[in-house]
């Protein structure tokens, strides 16, 4: 596996592959990798002969009171995992390579509407930071395919919309969430959980599944189901941010006749903000 830190080195290698007619699949990450990320790389390897991953803790997607400074940076361990997974090229730029001027002076990419709901309601600048860095990374890597985890379903929907609206020549592929045996979705932020919180954490998944079963059985009082689920999470020890039933494709509130639904949840447990989602139908 080759590791590069500059856009020029990255482009030289990707251009060589493209000249040889080889497609490139790309996995953007913020590092601190777990099995979920490695699964994304494995999926990317099945989709294209060449694979690139990036590790960049993107300051633009963190709010002023969020964990940017504390976010774990584990480049050596991450590199070893990516090499074992058979990745071809790791792009690990520094902040000034991606943002050569202060963040507030950089052009931003913002998708309308979708970023204002769910996580965006409590993290108002987060998704502009994500779409800005992902569009920059797409311009740097020029991948044919880009792979994202479904754990952050809202991010996946927003990136698909951005790629469609801006005619980006890249196919966006979503990969189902990898879970622990007790159902907890793998996340870099699970490392913030104490042993006691780790024991409580799967309640988020269990509550999503229980609500999905009731929707499948025909219950349609969405507001009552959401309120009940939030109360259950609170009594288990979470501080729920949201628990909402929405349409999977456009994240809008469903009508009674909508057959395809998805349930989205975010909740604080200690200093970890956990997110998850689960399909209905």
Q: Does 152 bind ligand PAF (CB under 6 A)?
A: yes
Among 34, 37, 39, 126, which one carries the catalytic annotation? 37
End-to-end CA distance of the chain: 41
Interface positions, 55-114, toward ligand PAF (CB under 6 A): 58, 61
The count of C-alpha atoms lying within 13 angstroms of the C-alpha of 275, restricted to the half-sphere facing its C-beta, is 15
CB of 93 to ligand PAF, least distance (A): 12
3-state secondary structure of 189: helix
Q: Does 30 bind ligand PAF (CB under 6 A)?
A: yes
Cα 229-234-240 angle, rounded to 5 deg: 75
What is the torsion angle, in degrees rounded to the nearest 10, for the CA atoms of residue 261, residue 267, residue 269 and residue 271? 130
Q: Does 29 bind ligand PAF (CB under 6 A)?
A: yes
Is residue 39 annotated as part of the catalytic site, yes or no? no
Q: Give me Rg for the CA atoms of the chain.
A: 19
For ligand PAF, which is the closer residue by CB, 151 or 262? 151
For ligand PAF, which is the closer residue by CB, 222 or 264? 264
Cα 131-175-12 angle, rounded to 5 deg: 60
- C-alpha 240/C-alpha 256 separation (Å) is 25
How many residues touch ligand PAF under the rule CB under 6 A: the total is: 10
Q: Return the structure tokens found at 268.
A: 């604080």
Q: Does 28 bind ligand PAF (CB under 6 A)?
A: yes
Q: Does 128 bind ligand PAF (CB under 6 A)?
A: no
For ligand PAF, which is the closer residue by CB, 137 or 269? 137
Candidates 133, 145, 147, 172: give the one binding ligand PAF (CB under 6 A): 133
What residues line the site for ligand PAF (CB under 6 A)? Answer: 28-30, 58, 61, 130, 133-134, 152, 155
Active site residues: 37
């Amino acid at each position: 596996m080759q590791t590069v830190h500059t856009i020029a080195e990255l482009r030289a290698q990707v251009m060589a592959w493209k000249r040889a007619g080889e497609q490139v699949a790309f996995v953007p990450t913020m590092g601190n990798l777990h099995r979920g990320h490695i699964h994304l790389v494995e999926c990317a390897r099945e989709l294209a002969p060449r694979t690139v991953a990036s590790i960049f803790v993107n300051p633009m997607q963190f709010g002023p009171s969020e964990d940017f400074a504390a976010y774990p940076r584990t480049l050596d361990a991450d590199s070893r995992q990516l090499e074992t997974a058979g990745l071809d090229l790791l792009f690990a730029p520094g902040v000034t390579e991606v943002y050569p001027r202060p963040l507030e002076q950089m052009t931003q990419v913002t998708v309308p509407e979708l970023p204002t709901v769910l996580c965006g309601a409590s993290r108002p600048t987060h998704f502009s930071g994500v779409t800005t860095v992902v569009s920059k990374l797409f311009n740097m890597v020029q991948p044919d395919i880009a792979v994202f985890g479904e754990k952050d379903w809202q991010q996946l929907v927003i990136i698909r919309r951005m790629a469609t609206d801006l005619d980006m020549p890249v196919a966006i592929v979503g990969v189902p969430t990898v879970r622990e045996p007790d159902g907890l979705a793998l996340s870099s932020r699970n490392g913030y959980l104490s042993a006691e919180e780790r024991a409580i954490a799967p309640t988020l998944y269990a509550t999503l599944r229980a609500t999905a079963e009731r929707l499948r059985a025909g219950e349609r009082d969405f507001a009552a189901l959401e309120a009940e689920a939030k109360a259950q999470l609170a009594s288990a020890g979470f501080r729920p941010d949201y628990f909402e039933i929405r349409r999977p494709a456009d994240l809008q509130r469903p009508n009674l006749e909508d057959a395809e639904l998805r349930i989205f949840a975010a909740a604080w447990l200690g200093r970890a903000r956990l997110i998850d989602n689960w399909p209905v139908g």
